[in-house]
Structure formats: C-alpha cells, structure tokens
Structure 1
C-alpha cells in the first residue's frame, strides 16, 4: 500500500484506488464544480452523459491522495481543486468534453446573493398578471410595469441586472414571478488532464465559427501567396499556369505579336478601336456606312469586352479555384469537426 493511504480507513483507501483506476482506464480525467446543482439536475446530467463520460463524486482530500500517488503531470490537477469538486472520466478529447458539459447546462431561477452570469433583460410586452400589488413590486426594482387592457404590461425592454452584478432579494423575487431564469446550472469544468497536459476552460472555450473562418482565411491567403509568388504546389499549379497564360496573352495583344491564339484578340481590339473612332467621327458630322452604323449600335447596346484577354478563361479559372478552395474548406471542417465534435 502506498505511503499516502497507509493511515486511511479501508473505505477511503478503496475510494483512492477507484480514482486511480478510473484515471488509468480513460484518456481524460477532469475536475468539475458541483456547487449549487440540485439533486434532480445531477441525475439528469448523469443521464445525459451516460455512455460518454462518468462523474464520480468524492471528497477533495481523497482526490488529492489519489493524484499524489499517481504522480507525474496529473498531480497538477490538485491545484485546480476548489469548492465541491468531482471527478469526470471520459475517452473524448477535452474540447469535446467542454462542449458537451456546456450543452448539458439548464436554466434556473436566480437566488438572492447570486452573481448574474450575463446581462438580465426583461422584455417588453404583456404579462399574465392582473392589476394589483405586482405593479408596485416590479416598479420598485426598476422594471417599467403598467396596467393596460386589464393586464400588467412591461412598457419597455430593460436590462435590470448587468453581468457580474449581485442579484438582490427583491429582484430575485420579481424575476421568479416573471418566469425569467438567468442562471446556468450544470457541471463547470475546472481543468482536464489529457496526454500529459492540463487544459483549463479558457483554452477549451473556443468560438468554432471564428476559428473556422480564420482557417478558411489563412487557406485563401496561402493560396494567393503561392500563385502570386509562383510557388507551385499540387493545389496551385493549375492557377499559376492559367495566370501565366492570361498574362502572356495580354503581352501578345499589347505588343501586337501575331501568334496563334493572339491574332484574333489583336484583330478584335483593333475592330473595337475602329468603332470607337467611327462613333466619335459620327458625332462630329461624318456619315457612316450602314455596316459600320450597325456594328457601332451593337457595340453600344452591349458592354464592351475586355481588350487584353478574353473573360471566359478568367471565369473558368475562378470557378476552378473556388472548387479547389471548397474542397480544402470541406477537408478543414472535417478536421475541426473531429476535434470539437
């Protein structure tokens, strides 16, 4: 028997061994705060976590004994013990565990003396109350109540308690009467041990949408850098070649190099320039032949095409790049999904 538990009664030694066994059999061992959670909610949480995670409630001193006996990095969990801590064992990674615990939280009425976890807002609109003392009670705590149409009505939406402020007794009673439940009740992850590292909530509380958007933006910027710096990769080689092709075409047109694939563009540009001169001449009183008038009218009715390169290749290349980026994004989302659940 380890020195830490030699002096403990048998039932306590059994508890310590159970903690050690659970830690060895699961990839993640964490500490959760059970303070203020009613027994009914605890039962519901256990039910929601069934098959995914196991919660073990025991004394903090016994958790300390177990962690000390195991040693190594897991012993650092002792520094996160506080209040009514309990252990949670799972094979999910800590990011998924944190997200799962957040999803199991439920709303409850506020008690006097509790701190508002977020701004508490009373919405504008009618209530089910008939005229009576309730109007004065609501007004006393700053809720703009009035009688309208034989019912008590909240005239304007108002923030009655700001995040971090203490909820007093009268405000708590008013919120109960209005059926406003601002308090999140559930297991609060204090820390998790995974692969020789301690993860705290500030590391695990990730905005997945923002994280995904950052990855997508980074992928787009890397793609553009590769194309513009002519660094060919499997994903960007096609875009680099297409860009070089368009630039070569533009150079051929500007320099009037009559090569295959360029001559038609040069002639097309010359034709459009001729029409522009003809239209300008007509504006100065010169008469145009019927063919030139018809061509000028057609050119005026439709937007002029680009003179340096055809639009089609650029559009096709853009579609190709978008398809490639979409594949990259889908692959990235699959990876993020595996990480965060």
Structure 2
C-alpha cells in the first residue's frame, strides 16, 4: 500500500487492493462509462460478460489511488469521468470494444440528452386517433395532421440533428411514437493493454468494411502479380495459364502449325475461306 493511502479507512484500503489484484490478474484494464444505464440492464450486462470480462464499480478517487500505485496504469487516470467504472479482461482491446457494443440496447431519450444521430420521423399514418396528440406532436416540431380518421405524419422530417439537445416536448413525443434513439450500454472510454493506452475512437472499427477492404486488397494484389508476371505460390498457376492462353493466341494468329494449335489454325482458315467464298460467290 502506498504512503498516501496509509491514513485511509480500512474498507478503502481493501477496495484499492482489490483493484490492484484484478489489474495484475488480467491482461487488459479498461474504463467504461456507466452514465444512464438502469440497474436492471447493468445486471444483464454482468450476466452477458460472465466468463469473458469482470466489471467493477467503485469511487474514482480509489481508482486513482490504485492506478497511482500500479505505475503505467496512471495513464488511464486522465480518462476518468464522473460515471467511470472498471472492466478487466484477457481479450484484446478491439475484441472488448466489439463485445461491449453488442451489450447496448435502444432506449427512449430523456429531456436534455444529446441525440447520438439524426432523429428522423417518417411520413405516414400512426396508430393514434384524433385528439390532443396532434397538438403535442406539432409543438415538438413534428408535422402531424388528421387524415382518414387517424393521426398522420404529413412529411418525413429530421426533428433533431446529431449532437443537438433533445428538449422535453420532443422527448415526450418520441416516447408516444415508440422511437428509442438512445444507445444505452457500457461505452469503453480507454483501455490499457500490453503497455499502451487505446482510446475508444481507435477501437471503433466497422468489421464488415474492414473485411471487405482486405478482400479488395487481396484481389488487387493477385491481379497485379498476374499482370506483372511476378510469380508467387498463389499466382504461379494463373500466370502460367495466362501465358499459355496468350501463346496459343499468337500461334493461331500467325498460323504456326503445331500439335497444340493445328485444329484452331485449320478452323480459322476454314472460316476465313468460307467468308471469302460468300463475298466472291
């Protein structure tokens, strides 16, 4: 225990020791943002992470103490926020980020929250009958009207753009329309792994796009190797096939008689003779 923890209550010392123990047992130590996650969802997340990662919620000051005594982990302290918690795992940071993204669920927006993306209300009928709901939707900036005895959205409209605040009237209207724009779940803020700190923006990889990029790069490399006649174990067969095809084409065009192309040479000559006969006939 460090000198600056000597005068701490025993329960705080125990908590710091527990953080240090977990940090020494796992390859990765991460910070996750717990803001706005209901208690029930936290329980579900813990259950989903069981056997893969361990989540620990504690005071930020105790995390700072523990990190300060763990040397390199001190770099994570600057990423602490008011709602940070610890996560420990033996997975690499990219796998952990992907795993946490899959724990997220959609929830209704609360007044004052920031829209994570453009919120678009689509044109068309709703399930509501005529009533006060029309005025409530209109006050929220949603173009509602009554058509054929039902409340209808008259046109598709972006009611709030990504990064803008969602006011109370709009939040209430979105709830009524059963639109849940908020992604709620553990958000990885930073991870310490094998001596380096990984920020969340580095870890946010579109796996499908990344896979397609690799396939595209491999295809281009293969074609370049074949067209440049640069043989490798993967392209030698295609290069030889291409060379044989081109040599055969030259032999047929030059009417070179050989066992491999004699049929094609004679066939070409016959076709030319017939064409000439048709012209002169």
- TM-score of the pair, normalised by structure 1: 0.78
Query: Whose helix proportion is higher, 1 or 2?
Result: 1
- Partner Cα separation in structure 1 for residue 29 and residue 278 of structure 2: 81
Aligned partner of residue 62 in structure 1, secondary structure: helix
SS at match of 1:232: coil
Deviates more, 1:222-231 or 1:209-218: 222-231
Alignment partners' CA distance in 1, 2:36 and 2:65: 25
The residue aligned with 1:13 is 13
Tell me the alpha carbon deviations over residues 142-177 of structure 1, each in whole angstroms, 9 at most, x when there is no partner. Answer: 212112333322222222111111111111111122
Q: Residues 188-207 of structure 1 correspond to what in structure 2 (within 5 A)?
A: 188-207=187-206
**Which residue of structure 2 lines up, in the alignment, with residue 303 of structure 1?**
none
Q: Distance in 2 between matches of 1:279 and 1:22?
A: 90
Q: 1:205 Cα deviation (Å)?
A: 0.9
Residue in 1 that maps onto 2:45: 45
Write the distance in 2 (CA, Å) between the matches of 1:38 and 1:279.
87
Looking at structure 2, the residues matched to 260 and 7 of structure 1 have their Cα atoms a distance apart, in angstroms, of 97
Q: Tell me how far 1:30 sits from its aligned partner.
A: 0.6
Helix, strand or coil at the partner of 2:244: helix
Match of 2:28 in 1: 28
Q: Which residue of 2 aligns with 1:241?
A: 240
Q: How do residues 164-243 of structure 1 correspond to structure 2 at under 5 angstroms?
A: 164-243=163-242
The CA distance in 1 between the partners of 2:151 and 2:226, in whole Å, is 66
1:139, distance to aligned residue in structure 2 (A): 1.2
Distance 2:232 2:3 in 1: 60
- In the other structure, the counterpart of 1:262 is 261
With 31-40 and 224-233 compared, the bigger mean Cα shift is at 224-233
> Secondary structure at 1:278's aligned position in 2?
helix
Structure 1 outlier segments of 4+, above 3 Å:
none
- Residue matched to 1:132: 131
Q: How many residues align?
A: 281
Matches of 1:196 and 1:44 in 2, distance apart? 31
Q: Deviations over 1:268-305 (max 9, x none)?
A: 11111112222323xxxx2xxxxxxxxxxxxxxxxxxx
User: Which 10-residue stretch deviates more, 163-172 or 250-259?
Assistant: 250-259
51-60 or 227-236: bigger deviation: 227-236
Do the aligned residues in 2 keep the contact of 1:4 with 1:69 (CA within 8 Å)? no
Q: Tell me how far 1:113 sits from its aligned partner.
A: 1.2
Correspondences of 1:81-160 after superposition (within 5 Å): 81-160=80-159
Summarize the alignment of residues 317-332 of structure 1 with structure 2, pairs less than 5 Å apart: none
Q: How far is 1:120 from its partner?
A: 1.0
Q: Is the 8 A contact 1:16 1:63 kept in 2?
A: yes
Q: Structure 2 CA distance, aligned partners of 1:175 and 1:195? A: 44
In structure 2, what is the Cα distance between the partners aligned to 1:147 and 1:225? 62
In 1, the alpha carbon distance for the partners of 2:206 and 2:75 equals 27
Question: Which one has a bigger Cα radius of gyration?
Answer: 1
State the SS of the aligned residue for 1:107: strand
Deviation at 1:122, TM superposition (A): 1.8
Supply the distance in 2 between the matched residues of 1:99 and 1:155 (Cα, whole angstroms).
39
C-alpha RMSD of matched pairs (Å): 1.6
In 2, the alpha carbon distance for the partners of 1:242 and 1:174 equals 66
TM-score (norm 2): 0.94
Long gaps (5+) in structure 1: 287-341
3-state SS of the aligned residue for 2:62? helix
Counterpart of 2:190 in 1: which secondary structure? strand
CA distance in 2, matches of 1:81, 1:278: 89
C-alpha distance in 2, partners of 1:251/1:151? 75
